[in-house]
Amino acid sequence: MLISSVSPAHRYALEIATMAKAAVPGVFVVLGGRHVDETITCLPGKDMLMVAPSSTLSVIRTGKVPPVVDATISGEAYYSLDLLMRAIAAAVDLDTDLVRPDAVRTLLEELLSEQEPMPGRSLITLLTPETTLAYPQEGPKIDLSALPSPYEGFAIRSRFPIFVDPRTDEIRRTAHVMVSNACPYQCNFCSETAKLAGGLKKFRQTSAGVNRVVEYVGYGAEALFFDDSVFWSGTYRDVVDFCEELCRIRETPAGKLAEHHRRLLPTAADVERLGRLEWGAQLTVDVLVALHSLEESRRTLEIMRAAGCSYVYIGIESMSDQVMDKIHKNLRRVEGHSWAEKVRAAVSLVKSTGLRVGTSVLFGLEGETRASIDETIAGVSNLIADKLIDLASPNILTYHPATPITRIHGMVDKLDYHSPNLDNRKPYTYFEEAFPGVVSVALSEEDLWYIHAETDHRWGTTRNDSAAVPLDQGQVGV
C-alpha cells in the first residue's frame, strides 16, 4: 500500500495504515509525501539520518503509534519509488501472496548494487523491529517534463467551483498541473520553498508544458489549475512563450495540428474542448508590482488571458506591515509604499485585464496581534468593497515541521501530527489544515472565533468557506 501525506494529514495516513494492517495482515505499507520530506533527511556524507520529533520514524520508535509503516520514501523519489516497488514485487511469497519484509531489504540492496545512481536526490528507509535502514540516493538532475504525467494512470475527477461552463452552469472538470517543484522565494512560514525541496526545478522547455496541457485536454479536462507556487516560477519570458504557443495551438484548425497534438486530441470534441479551455494560476504581489514594471506585468496578464486564463490566485497573507516585515515575503520595499498599497496595486492590475482574483490571507504570523488582525480584515474588506477581489480565503498559520517559523516559535518538538483521537472542533474546523496544538502560538482559541466571525461578517460571500463539500461534487476551493 502506498500512502502520501502532508503534515496535517499524517495522523490520518497512520490511521489508514493501521486499518490496512488489521484488514490485510502482512500488507506492506510505504509512506511518502511532504511530511516525510520535511522530517526524515540524510545529512551530507550520507552516514547519518536526521529525524524530526514529529516524523513517522520518531513516533513509531517511541511507541506513540504502532509499527504500521514498513518503509518511507522522500525527496525526488520518482525513480527510487520504482526501484523500491520492484524490490517489493520480487519479495512476494508466491504461496501466500504476502510480502516478505526481510527479502525486501536483500532485493533492494541487490538492485542498488546493479545499476547506476538514479536521477534526483531521494531517501528510502526500511523499518524493521530492531532498526531503521537508510538508502540515500543521488544521481543526475531530474527533468520534470520527462516524467509520466499523473493523469496517465488516473481519471480527472476534480471540479473547481471557480470554473463554470456558461452554457450549462455546470462546474468544469479540472486537471491540476505543475511545471515546477517548488517556490523560488523563502517565506519563513512556507514548506514549498526551494530550500526545503532541495532546489528549484521546472520544465526545461515551455513547449513541454503546452504538450502537458494538450494531453490533459485529451483526457477530458475542461479547465486547468496550475498548482505551482508561482506560475512558471515568476519568469515572464517563460509565461509569455508558454501562452503564445498555447494560443497558436488553440487557434489551429484540427486538420492542421501537429501530428503529436493530433494523437492527443483524436476527436473533434477534444479539439473543441481545447478551444474552450479555461485555466488559472498563482502569482505573487512582488512578481506583479515590484520585480517587473506595471506595463510589463499588464502585457503578460493580457497574454495569459488570451491563452485562456481567467483566474489568478495571490497570497496576500496580511495587510499589516508589522507582520509582513518579518516573513521575508515583502521582497522589494519601496519607500513611501506600504505592503497594503502594493497589494492594492497588484489586485487592481489583475482585475484591469479582465481576470478574476482569488486571495489567501494567513493569520498568526510572527508579530500578529489583535490590532494587526483587525487591520488585515479591514484592508481585505476594503478591497472587496472596491470589487478588486473575487474570493478571499482566511487561513490560520499551521506549523510545518521544517519551516523557520516553527523553530522561531519553539514548536519543533511539540508538534502532534500522530494522535488519532484529536478533538478537532470548532473554531478549528472553520479553517483549512487547522488543528489544536499545531496552529500559531500567536493566536488564542478566542482569536480563532473572532477571525471566523469577523471575516464571515465583513467579507460576506467573497469569503471562501472551508465547510465540507459533498463527495459527489468533487469540488475543491482555491
- What CATH number has the domain bearing residue 265? 3.20.20.70
**In the predicted model, is pLDDT for residue 322 greater than 60?**
yes
**In the predicted model, is pLDDT for residue 474 greater than 90?**
no
Provide, rounded to the nearest whole percent, the portion of the chain with pLDDT above 70: 95
Binned at pLDDT 50, 70 and 90, residue 422 comes out as confident
Asked whether 70 and 101 are in contact (CB, 8 A), the reply is yes
Residues ≥6 apart with Cβ < 8 Å to 318: 324, 339, 361, 362, 363, 365, 368, 372, 375, 376
- Asked whether residue 451 is domain-assigned, the answer is yes
- Asked whether residue 200 is domain-assigned, the answer is yes
Q: Are 312 and 447 within one domain?
A: yes
Q: Which three cell numbers stand for residue 311?
A: 483566474
- Asked whether residue 288 is domain-assigned, the answer is yes
Predicted confidence at residue 195, as pLDDT, reads 84
Q: Which of 96, 113, 138 is the last residue of a domain?
A: 138
Q: Are 160 and 260 within one domain?
A: yes
- Least confident range of 37-51, 307-321, 349-363, 369-383: 37-51
Q: Are 168 and 72 within one domain?
A: no
Residues ≥6 apart with Cβ < 8 Å to 433: 6, 8, 395, 396, 398
Report the alpha-carbon distance of residue 291 to residue 286 in Å, rounded. Answer: 6
Q: Are 225 and 310 within one domain?
A: yes
Count CB neighbours of 166 within 10 A: 8
φ/ψ of 412, rounded to 5, equals -55, -45
- Asked whether residue 478 is domain-assigned, the answer is no
Classify residue 418 by burial, with Cβ atoms within 10 Å: 0-12, 13-18, 19+.
buried
Q: Which three cell numbers stand for residue 168?
A: 450549462
Q: How far apart are the first and last CA of the chain?
A: 29
Q: Are 446 and 379 within one domain?
A: yes
Closest CA to 413 of 62, 139, 125: 62
Q: Which pairing describes strands 309-317 and 132-138: parallel, antiparallel, or unpaired?
A: unpaired
Residues ≥6 apart with Cβ < 8 Å to 210: 242, 245, 246, 249
Predicted confidence at residue 399, as pLDDT, reads 97
Please say whether the dihedral angle defined by the alpha carbons of residues 198, 204, 206 and 210, taken in this order, is positive or negative.
negative
pLDDT digits (tens, 9 = 90+) for 87-107: 999 999 999 999 999 999 999
Instruction: Name which residue leads in pLDDT, 299 or 327.
Output: 299
Predicted confidence at residue 196, as pLDDT, reads 84
Report the alpha-carbon distance of residue 131 to residue 67 in Å, rounded. Answer: 12
Report the alpha-carbon distance of residue 182 to residue 228 in Å, rounded. Answer: 7
Question: Across the chain, what does the average pLDDT equal?
Answer: 93
Predicted confidence at residue 336, as pLDDT, reads 67
Asked whether 117 and 138 are in contact (CB, 8 A), the reply is yes
Q: Which of 84, 108, 138 is the last residue of a domain?
A: 138
**In the predicted model, is pLDDT for residue 291 greater than 70?**
yes
Q: Are 448 and 328 within one domain?
A: yes
Q: Are 278 and 401 within one domain?
A: yes
Mean pLDDT along residues 275-281: 98
Q: Which pairing describes strands 132-138 and 121-127: parallel, antiparallel, or unpaired?
A: antiparallel
Report the alpha-carbon distance of residue 121 to residue 192 in Å, rounded. Answer: 17
Q: Which of 103, 138, 173 is the last residue of a domain?
A: 138
Count: domains in the chain: 2
Binned at pLDDT 50, 70 and 90, residue 476 comes out as very low
Report the alpha-carbon distance of residue 463 to residue 83 in Å, rounded. Answer: 45
**In the predicted model, is pLDDT for residue 472 greater than 50?**
no
Q: Are 116 and 156 within one domain?
A: no
- Omega before residue 117 within 30° of 0, cis: no
- Asked whether residue 390 is domain-assigned, the answer is yes
Closest CA to 154 of 78, 220, 89: 220
Predicted confidence at residue 334, as pLDDT, reads 62
Residues ≥6 apart with Cβ < 8 Å to 241: 206
**In the predicted model, is pLDDT for residue 42 greater than 90?**
no
Mean pLDDT along residues 146-153: 90
Asked whether 399 and 405 are in contact (CB, 8 A), the reply is yes
- Asked whether residue 132 is domain-assigned, the answer is yes
Report the alpha-carbon distance of residue 289 to residue 284 in Å, rounded. Answer: 9
Mean pLDDT along residues 340-354: 98
Model-level pTM? 0.93
Report the alpha-carbon distance of residue 266 to residue 264 in Å, rounded. Answer: 6
Q: Which residue range(s) make up the domain with 269? A: 144-473
Predicted confidence at residue 466, as pLDDT, reads 57
Q: Are 231 and 371 within one domain?
A: yes
- Asked whether residue 103 is domain-assigned, the answer is yes
Q: Are 128 and 196 within one domain?
A: no
**In the predicted model, is pLDDT for residue 470 greater than 60?**
no
Q: Are 106 and 151 within one domain?
A: no
**In the predicted model, is pLDDT for residue 473 greater than 80?**
no
- Asked whether residue 207 is domain-assigned, the answer is yes
C-alpha distance from residue 303 to each of 242, 243, 248, 348 (Å): 10, 6, 12, 17
Q: Are 154 and 131 within one domain?
A: no
C-alpha distance from residue 2 to each of 10, 19, 420 (Å): 13, 14, 20
